[in-house]
Structure 1
Amino acid sequence: MSDIAPATDLAPEAARAAPPAPLDRGESLLRRHAATFLRSPSAVVGLVVLVLAVLGSLAAPWIAPQNPYDLTQLDIMDNMLAPGERLAGGTVAYLGTDNQGRDMLSAILYGLRISLGVAAAATIIASIVGASVGVLAAYVGGRVESFVMRVVDLQLSFPAILVALVLLAVFGRGIDKVILALVVVKWAYYARTVRGSALVEKRREYIEAARCLALPRWRVVFRHLLPNCLPPLIVVATVQVANAIALESTLSFLGVGVPVTEPSLGMLIATGYQYLLSGKYWISTFPGVALVVVIVAINLVGDRLRDVLNPRLSK
């Protein structure tokens, strides 16, 4: 008899002796955060509403009954139709029409595109500027940090609407001007948030290790320090998107925001404001409801992200 065991008997032993495959820490952490986020019904509802609003605004040219920016599709005889009445072309105006004959459902979808686009662009630019300034101030320290934070305090001491009104009075109306004004009034929030997080992170061992390796300062700041400051930045950015939408709508309502030819939700509300007392409630009410629903949805998502990404609140 041979003392060598058959290969079939060694295979199970080899399988049991093999070490388990290493877990992807990033993927497992992402799944844990996603599972924690989905435990909140209100956050899930807010996320669904937000996704539907974004998809509806992006697909507006294909799903909207009318292009409110195309003057050839507008008929002055269709102005101020009540919800449910038919346009001259036979299309049903489910939310009515405004004083220019624009279908309110189409105008809301296109208005969402402008409001969400302006807020998203301003948030991205402001977060990049503010995060860079905040992390550099925290890493350098000394007089540079003191100067930057005094500028941030000065910026935050003025009401955002007042600063935006002054800037738009100087630069004029336009989508690009509104984005610039929102960036100017919002960057300080991100700078203060990232600076506070960076002050804690720069005392960690991995930053000391990066310094001991004689890595360039820019690499230590932007490749090691800044990525670990992203969780609070994401929470602030999510909430600030809602604030940017509200601020843009306020500016458009006051007549200093986006041009009349490209109305946002605020401009639609301003258009129908003068007709509220005459019974034409739908011109302002439906855009206002859409604006409130989107802002509440973003805030619900932001509040839940704060609970998920903040380790002090996790259990």
Structure 2
Amino acid sequence: MTGEILATGGESAAPLRRTKADSPLKRILAAFFEDRLAVIGLVVFVLIAAFAVIGPWIVPQNPYDLAQLDIMDGGLPPGETSFSTGGTYWLGTDEQGRDMLSAIAYGLRISLLVAFVSLGCAITIGVTLGVVASYFGGRIDSLIMRVVDLQLSFPAILIALILLALLGRGVDKVILALVIVQWAYYARTVRSSAIVETRKDYIDAARCLALSHRRIMFRHLLPNCVPPLIVVATVQIAQAISLEATLSFLGVGVPITEPSLGLLIANGYDYLLSGRYWVSIFPGIALVATIVAINLVGDRLRDVLNPRLQK
């Protein structure tokens, strides 16, 4: 009998050890990599981000340094050889002789910089207000949510256009406009998740232990609201990139001395009918590839973190 009990215990101990070893992060990663489209999107985005980071050191020229431009190389189609240096312009040049591959590398850097900096600032503001609203409730919750509802009732592009019309052009101005536009999404998401958590026993236990409000909110309440926040952040990165490109295309975003993908598309728009498609098409492909890759990753994360949405 003792041997049977030990054998039974030995058989049940192994699954227990395996369950303990499988952390939630490992399970999430395993479920994420089951989707081939999500993996492809992640690989594409990593390659694009790596090119944006190291691109300015490996591309043939700084396209916004006038000393490196030659007007004789203006308007060359893809694959043509430079008249001055003898190098090959794989994606062609624009009217000023800028190498389009180099311009895309610099444009990607600005677009991703604006998106991620605005994302970090918007998450900080939105998460803080969302947790405060759900934890204290009452008038504080009503006031914060009324501001959120008021902002979300207007299109994001309209608010950004008004802000940039008042602030002027510049990378810092675009980042500020995107932060003001996006913080409300994070505040509503965190508040919706945290308001359920505030009714659970562990929050009551933390209050009975006389823990500070800040410790309860940010060390006990907020970590349980992270999964939906990750999904919203992934989607908002793509939206920030597309919104910045739209603003730059309309001429109210970044200045011409600090190019982005939207500004590159706008510069080549006038040359589409003349047959010089590469000036606008290649930056557009880079923009679409970036947004689609991020959306593929975000869709898979949404399914993994919320199993009820899985097919």
**TM-score bracket for the superposition, by shorter chain length:** over 0.9
* 1:295 to 1:25, Cα distance in 2 relative to 1, 3 A: farther
- In structure 2, the residue matched to 1:176 is 172
1:59 is matched with which residue?
54
2:240 alignment partner in structure 1: 244
Gaps spanning 5+ residues in structure 1: where?
1-14
Distance of 1:20 and 1:284 partners within structure 2: 57
TM-score by length of 1: 0.91
Return the alpha-carbon distance in structure 2 between the equivalents of residues 190 and 143 of structure 1: 20
Among 186, 209, 213, the residue aligned to 2:209:
213
Match of 1:9 in 2: none
Query: What's the secondary structure of 2:273's corresponding residue?
Result: helix
Two-structure CA RMSD over aligned residues (Å): 1.9
Moved over 4 A (4+): 18-27
- The one-letter amino acid of 2:204's match is E
Q: 1:164-215 deviations in whole A, cap 9, x for unaligned?
A: 1111111111100000000000000000000000011111222111111110
Return the offset for 1:21: 9.9
2:77 is the alignment partner of 1:82: yes
Structure 2 counterparts to residues 239-278 of structure 1, below 5 A: 239-278=235-274
Report which stretch shifted further, 64-73 or 166-175.
64-73
Q: Distance in 2 between matches of 1:22 and 1:133?
A: 40
Q: TM-score, normalised by structure 2?
A: 0.92
1:47 aligns with 2:47: no
How big is the shift at 1:311?
4.1
- Residue 200 of structure 1: aligned partner: 196
Aligned to 2:123: 127
Aligned in 2, Cα 1:274/1:20: closer, same or farther, shift over 3 Å? closer
Which residue identity is paired with 1:191?
A
Per-residue CA deviation, residues 206-250 of structure 1 (Å, 9 max, x unaligned), is 211111111001110011101111110111000000000000000
| Unaligned 5+ runs, structure 2 | 1-9
Instruction: In structure 1, give the amino acid aligned to 2:64.
Output: Y
Residue-pair matches, total = 300
Residue 311 of structure 2 is aligned to residue 309 of structure 1 = no
Cα distance in 1 for residues equivalent to 2:74 and 2:118: 34
CA displacement at 1:61 relative to structure 2: 2.2
Which residue is 1:34 aligned to? 29
2:96 is aligned with 1:109: no
Residues 1:162 and 1:54: Cα distance change in structure 2 (over 3 Å): same
CA distance in 2, matches of 1:76, 1:164: 36
Which residue of structure 2 aligns with residue 5 of structure 1? none
Measured at CA, do residues 24 and 121 of structure 1 come closer, stay the same or move farther in structure 2, by a change above 3 Å?
Answer: farther
Measured after TM superposition, the shift of residue 20 of structure 1 is 10
Separation (CA, whole Å) in 2 of partners of 1:287 and 1:191: 33
Identity %: 67
Aligned partner of 2:68: which letter?
Q
